[in-house]
Structure 1
């Protein structure tokens, strides 16, 4: 794939027709909604909550009319919440897909970032019958902008998607493919070195969030930190606006990932330690 984001669109265009429905997490990556709508499908949002460890409420989903649902988008480690998956959750997803003949589309680009146990949904017995998984070199191999992603599924599924993809592009530039192959051959020390940097940045982000009096879990994984705002702010947008206009620091309001994220903010770990230190200094001056 020319990036895993392209894969989201390819899957939707391959499997959706006008009127088909798709289960999408709230909060979740906004591109799922965009791709579904562009393909003529209708988004059905399932809410994730901290109380349920940011996992789908299968009991509640079973009460819904799922007769028109063709796909279900899931993403663990989850963006924006940083929630890791469990084997039990993965088993539930596969069982749910089989029971309702729903294709489970697992977007898995954060598996190797600050995560000691990278997992694939396809590791679950029988998953290949109902699962398509996406991954990307943008995060794990620091190749953002090179646009290298992958789609893993049963052979029949891959061939179905290739029928669409082959009419969209003519392949990837060979030197990029060779660079990607080299990147994928690196051993565990590569991930350890990258995660050492992200760990130091995350500590700085925790410091920043403490200044803002936000609540957060230190068990999060992935490239972002998700935090609940203090009660003194109406929502994440209000906090983001205050910090932006008074401290010239941008923090992503959680509401852009869905209404279930309104009481949260998300901070990226892509900045340098120096930038985080400067951000802390500016925020301290305005709060």
Structure 2
């Protein structure tokens, strides 16, 4: 009998991969499910983005293999975007690497720097992929707790009490998913100083910086950040292009070159039409983000109302496309989610999916039409 590799035993099937089978079965049975669990934008990209894809796809020469590092025009567009919105300077030829979605970048970065036995600092609560990738590569995830009383920021005093000698990478993510804690330049300064002091790569995952945030931030706004930091970014949320799978990684040339060596052995570049669409998306002005946030703001107010009617509480000075709600003391997030699903046919995400510190919370997505949120309120 053929056996599976050890790494398969190290990870579990992604929560949404499993749970959505159950949700989809209820839908197949005719249940009127309102899905507020997934952060997949339901709004379309800008018309110019779709037109760029269509125009490029219509050309006979557009369908061959593409450069592993993306076309020069795309790297240039990312660099201009960073300078325009973050006031951060990046060299398009050497400091930017387009990705087939930023999720693959987590794997590429990890494969480039981690050996078996290395350690990785991972936020709790945080994005589950940081953990699964570390385990797949035989590295050890070391969790650092984020707490509401500390604004969901790392406690550096607690971190420095640990033995950090084996830590290679520290994953950070602000605006934070799932809590919505906002990015803060003072925090970024502390992170860069921490990384330099202990020779730890600060890998900042930054896909939510424009969502319900008037002043987008990048870790590369901090002086000296390129010496120790990498940043992932994505068009999935900011441009409503989640299914297009396009993101980017930025950092110093030496690191980007090494990561490209890994990436070039794992894919053959992005379809040219998607790259041209991304260039159009990156050229959009501030009015695009204002309109997007107007929609999310209206939805968030409704979700706040829903949270209150469900007897929960939530912080309101947040960014990103989720509402992180605290359950009444003693309630299990799994039991709450299943009760909501089977009693009211509303699906939300239990907080424990994002780590032990997420137990006692649930996450509501704003990627749901206002009418559906109002219907959820009416059901309650």
TM-score using structure 2 length: 0.73
Counterpart residue number, 2:375: 278
Counterpart residue number, 1:110: 208
1:235 positional shift: 2.1
* Of 99, 123, 132, the match for 2:230: 132
Determine which structure has greater relative contact order: mean sequence separation of CA pairs < 8 Å that are 6+ residues apart, divided by chain length: 2
Counterpart residue number, 2:122: 24
Give per-residue Cα distances to partners, 1:207-240, cap 9 Å, x unaligned: 1101111111111110100011112x52222211
Counterpart residue number, 1:165: 263
Counterpart residue number, 1:81: 179
Counterpart residue number, 2:189: 91
Distance 2:352 2:114 in 1: 27
* Of 325, 335, 341, the match for 1:238: 335
* Of 340, 344, 353, the match for 1:247: 344
Report the number of matched residues. 282
What's the C-alpha RMSD, in Å, of the aligned pairs?
Answer: 0.8
1:49 positional shift: 0.2
* SS state at 1:125 partner: coil
- Structure 2 unmatched ranges of 5 or more: 1-98
* Of 133, 158, 161, the match for 1:35: 133
1:272 positional shift: 0.5
Counterpart residue number, 1:179: 277
Counterpart residue number, 1:210: 308
Q: 1:52-67 counterparts in 2 under 5 A?
A: 52-67=150-165
Runs of 4+ in 1 over 6 A off after TM superposition: none
* SS state at 2:347 partner: coil
Is 1:152 paired with 2:152?
Answer: no
- Structure 1 unmatched ranges of 5 or more: none
Give per-residue Cα distances to partners, 1:63-101, cap 9 Å, x unaligned: 000000000000000000000022211111000000000
Is 1:265 paired with 2:329?
Answer: no
Counterpart residue number, 1:222: 320
1:53 positional shift: 0.6
* SS state at 1:145 partner: helix
Give per-residue Cα distances to partners, 1:139-169, cap 9 Å, x unaligned: 0000011000000101111001001001011
Stretch deviating more after TM superposition (116-125 or 235-244): 235-244
Which protein shows a greater Rg?
Answer: 2
* Of 203, 215, 218, the match for 1:120: 218
Distance 1:223 1:85 in 2: 14
Distance 1:235 1:62 in 2: 32
TM-score using structure 1 length: 0.97
Is 1:188 paired with 2:283?
Answer: no
* Of 6, 9, 14, the match for 2:112: 14
